[in-house]
A and B are shown apart, each in its own frame.
Chain A
C-alpha cells in the first residue's frame, strides 16, 4: 500500500509537470472548484488521519478548531523541522516529491481560511529547502498558490521559513516563537495554536508527512483512507529502519503493523545483519521507548498504546552495543538540545549527562543510582513541556531493563 511513496522516483522533484502528469494538484483543483471549507474539514475528520509528527493528534479536529475560531487572519504551517535523531522521512519526502507536501499545505490553508502559510524547515536541511523553493516557485507560476488560485478569488501566500535547527523548535509552539523572531522555547498551553498561535492568530501546525496524506484523502475519499491500516489510526506510515537491520532506510507500511514484521519481513527490514543478535529496539527516535524481544508483536499505532510510535523510527540494537554508550549518547543529545526554560530539564539533563559520562568511564559513584532515579522522576513529572519527559523515557527503560549491565 503506497500513499506517500507512490510517486517517488517516478517524478522529477524539480519539475512540477511531472507531478501534474501523475494527477498531482488534482485534489487542490477539486477542492477549490467545488468544495466548501466545511466539506474539506469534515472529509479530513472522517478519514481519521492523525498527525505524523509524533503526538498523533487527530488532524481533522485541529483543522476544525482553527476553522471555527473567528479571526481576521489565520495561518497554516507545515512543520518541517524534523530533528529527531535517526529520522529523515520528511527530508526524503521533500527530496522525492515536494509538491505532495505543498498540495496538502494549500488544501489545509484553504480549509481553515488561512491566507498565509509557512513551511518551516530545519535549518540543516539545505537541500530540501532548495527543492521546496523551486517547487514553490513553479506552483506559483501555475497559479496553485499566490493570488487568485486557479482563477478563483482565493489567495494563499506560501513562504519558506528556515529555522536554526534546534530540536525543541519542532515543538509547535516553539516553532511559532521562532517565526515570530523570539527565542525558540515552548509556550504555555492553553491556549493551543488553533485558537491562538502565530502572532496570536488561529494557526494549524501539521507535520510534512501528515500533509502528504491530504491529496490522497481528497482524491480517493475519506472512506477509502480510513480502511487502510488500523481502525484507530488509519493510513500508512513511513518507518525509518536503522541499526543492526539488513535493509536500512525508509519503508511505507500500513499502521498497525508490528515491529516484528517490520524488522524481519523481507520487503521491509529483512532481518538482522548477519552475525548480530537482537537485543532491543528503540521506537520513535532518541525520545522513544525501548522494546524488548517479547514485545515485538505489538502493533504500531497512534493512540493509547504501550510503545508509542512517535515519528516512526525503529532503531534495532544488537547485543554488541554497549548500553552505557547509548545512555551517554541520549544524555548528550538531550543535554545539548534542552531549551533551558524550566529547572528540571535545564539542570536535570545536565546532571544526567554528567552521570552518563561517569558511567561510560566506569567510575560511577555510589549515589548515582539514586540520583538518576530522582532526576528521571523530576524530568517526567515536573517539566514544562514534553521534552523533559522525552529525555527520561529511554533512560527510564534502560535502567529498568539493564540495571545490572549499567551498574555492574
Chain B
C-alpha cells in the first residue's frame, strides 16, 4: 500500500500507524507518551497530532491506522499550533528547574521546548516544591500535589517533574508485571504514584526511570557520597565497573551505541581521583566458577532443580516477594558486584596491608537495583559493608560533565591488575544469555574434562524474551532456558508451577536484553539501541585472549592463595548467601 505524507509517496503496510511510517522514513513527529519499549500508545500526550485528508479533526499519528488514499500533513500551521499550545501547557505543569535538573540536556520535554520555542511562562507554574509547612498557604491558590519519594535505596521520584505521560505505569505493568504505579486523583491533580502514596515498593529494576521523559523518576542519587569519599584524604576509593558499563558509558558522551570505552572509563575514574579501578568482570568470572560448581553439584546430587541464576537483584527480589516457593531454586552465588567487593576488603586489603575500614568500595553499575542489593543486610561478608556506594552509568557521566571532564579527550588506561584481569566469558554478563553462555563454557569443560572446540553457544543468544536449548554433555542432556523481562519470567514460573517445564538451569534478567538494558543505563534506549550494544559486547568477547572464566589467571591465583577451591568454606562465607534471609524489601 502507498500513502502520501507531506505530498510525497511512501510505502506502507496494512495495519501500520502513521507514526510508524513516519519513524521509518525519518519524518519528524514529536511524541511524549510513545516509547519503543512500550505497547502501542493510547494517544494521550497529543504531541503527535497530524492533519489528514480523511478527517476535519487533527488525528494522533501514534494510534491512527493507515488506509488506502490517506494523505498526511505533519507540519501544517494547525499542527504546529496544536503542538505549541499543548507544549506550553505541559511546560507550565513542570518544575522547569532545568539547570539543576538531573536530566538536563537529556530531557525529552526540554528538547521539545527548544524545538518549539517555549521559553516563557505564560502562567504560574503550578507545581511547587513544598519546603516547609508555612508554604502551605502559598500553595492554596495554586495547589497541586507534589510527591517526593526517596525512601528506597534505588529510585527517586519527584512529581513536580512529572508530565503524566504514563510510560512508567505501562512499563511497570506490561514489561515487569509489578504494577507499582498507577494514576492517583483526577483532573489537574492527576498524579502518577503508588497506591495510597505509600513509598515505592517494587523490585527496583528502574525501567520506569529509563522510559521517563523527564526527571520525575531517576535513580536515587549517590554522587554526593562518592564525592565526599574522594575528598577525604584518609579514604582509599576503590571502584569496580560492571561488564556492561564500558559498552554504554560512551553514549553519554555522544558516541554511537555499542562503542567500547573501557580505557576511557578507567581513565575518567582515575582523573576523578579514584585510587584503584578494578573490573567487575573478574567478579563475574568468579560467579561463573562458583555457579558452575553449584550447578554440577545440584545435578549430580539431585539438588533442587532448575537452578536460577542470581546475578540480578531485581529478579531475586521478585522471587522473594512474589514466588517465595522458588527461593530454593535460586543459586546461592552472590552477584559479581557482591563477589568482588568482599574480596577487595579482605583479600586485597590483606595483601596490600590496608585497613579495610579506610576503603570506600564504589561500584559503577548499569542498574538501580544494585543500590538496593548493596544495602541488603547480608552483604557484609568482609566484616564491613561490602559495597559502600553504587553509581549508575548516568550518575557517573553526570559527575564527569559537572567536573568538566571529557573522557573522549583522555588517554586510555588499564584496570589495576590486582583485580583487573578479565575474560570474554565475564564480559558476556552484560547481556541476556551471557551468564548462561559463560557458565556453559566452564561447566562443559569441568564435566567432560576436555577443552571446548567452539566456545560460542549461539543457541542461548538472541533477543527473544524467552529462549531455551538442550546441550549434550557426555550422557547428560542439560536443558537450559534464558529469559529477560519479568513478564517472561513470570510465565516461566507459572508453567513450572503447573509442572510444564523441566529445565536444569535458567538465567533470568529483569531488564530488557539484560544489563545493557538496565535501569541505570543512558537514555534514550530501545530495541535498536540495545541491539547495537549487544553487538559491541559480542565482538569484544570474540577479541578477548581468554574467553573462559576458569582460565582467568588472577582468579587461579586467588583460589590458590586465598579461597582454596570452588565451594570451599571461605568461598561459602564470602561469595554465597541464602536468598530470602533478608526481610523482603529490606536493605
Q: Which residues of A line the B interface, CB within 8 A? A: 166, 183, 187-188, 335-344, 346-351, 354, 367, 371, 374-375, 377-378, 381-384
Contacts and interface: CB of A to CB of B under 8 A. Distances in A.
Please report whether the interface of chain B is mostly helix, strand, loop or mixed according to DSSP.
loop
Contacts of A344: 46, 85-86, 89
B375 interface: no
B77 to A, nearest CB: 12
Given A188-B63, A351-B123, A378-B85, A340 B190 contact: yes
Interface centre among B89, B163, B164 (most CB of A within 10 A): B89
A169 to B, nearest CB: 11
B46 A347 contact: no
B108 to A, nearest CB: 14
Interface stretch (B181-189, B502-510, B559-567): B181-189
Contacts of B92: 347, 351
A112 to B, nearest CB: 27
7 contacts: A339-B187, A340-B189, A342-B46, A344-B46, A347-B89, A377-B85, A378-B85
A343 B189 contact: no
Contacts of A341: 42, 44, 190
B451 to A, nearest CB: 56
Contact of A384 (B43, B85, B185): B43
A381 B186 contact: no
B85 A346 contact: no
A176 to B, nearest CB: 15
Contact of A337 (B42, B89, B163, B187): B187
Contact of B44 (A336, A381, A384): A384
Given A377-B81, A382-B46, A346 B122 contact: no
A343 B187 contact: no
Pairs A-B, 7 closest by C-beta atoms: A340-B190, A350-B188, A347-B89, A338-B187, A378-B85, A382-B46, A382-B82
B82 A346 contact: no
A2 to B, nearest CB: 40
Contacts, number: 96
A384 B42 CA distance: 9
A188 B81 CA distance: 23
Contacts of B43: 188, 342, 384
B126 A382 contact: no
Contacts of A371: 122-123
A381 B82 contact: yes
A338 B58 CA distance: 20
Interface in B64-97: 78, 81-82, 85-86, 88-90, 92-93
Contact of B188 (A335, A374, A384): A335
B188 A347 contact: yes
Given A347-B92, A351-B89, A378-B85, A339 B186 contact: yes
A339 B187 CA distance: 5
Interface in B538-571: none
Contacts of B86: 343-344, 347, 378, 382
Given A335-B188, A343-B44, 6 more contacts: A183-B183, A340-B186, A343-B45, A346-B188, A371-B123, A382-B58
A375 B42 contact: no
Given A188-B42, A347-B90, A371-B123, A338 B188 contact: yes
A386 to B, nearest CB: 11
Contacts of B187: 335-340, 346, 349-350
B89 A338 contact: no
B188 A375 contact: no
A375 B42 CA distance: 22
Nearest to A168: B186
Contacts of B122: 367, 371
B188 A349 contact: yes
Given A343-B46, A351-B123, A378 B186 contact: no
A382 B164 CA distance: 17
B46 A340 contact: no
B45 A381 contact: no
Nearest to B84: A374
A93 B332 CA distance: 68
B89 A342 contact: no
B456 to A, nearest CB: 45
A350 B126 CA distance: 10
A378 B84 CA distance: 10
A378 B82 CA distance: 6
A375 B189 contact: no
A299 B188 CA distance: 38
A131 to B, nearest CB: 29
Contacts of A374: 85, 88
B57 interface: yes
A381 B93 contact: no
B44 A338 contact: no
B210 interface: no
Contacts of A342: 43-46
B49 interface: yes
Contacts of B63: 188
A343 B90 contact: yes
Contacts of A187: 42
Nearest to B47: A343
Contacts of B58: 381-382
Contacts of B88: 374
Interface string B179-206: 0001101111110000000000000000
A149 B9 CA distance: 59
Contact of A340 (B49, B82, B188): B188
A103 to B, nearest CB: 35
Contacts of A166: 186
Nearest to B141: A357
A347 B186 CA distance: 11
B95 to A, nearest CB: 15
B123 A354 contact: yes
Nearest to B91: A347
Nearest to A190: B65
Nearest to A347: B89
B511 to A, nearest CB: 27
A351 B189 CA distance: 13
Nearest to A389: B57
A356 to B, nearest CB: 13
Nearest to B65: A190
Contacts of B45: 342-343
Nearest to A345: B187
Contacts of A335: 187-188
A346 B164 contact: yes
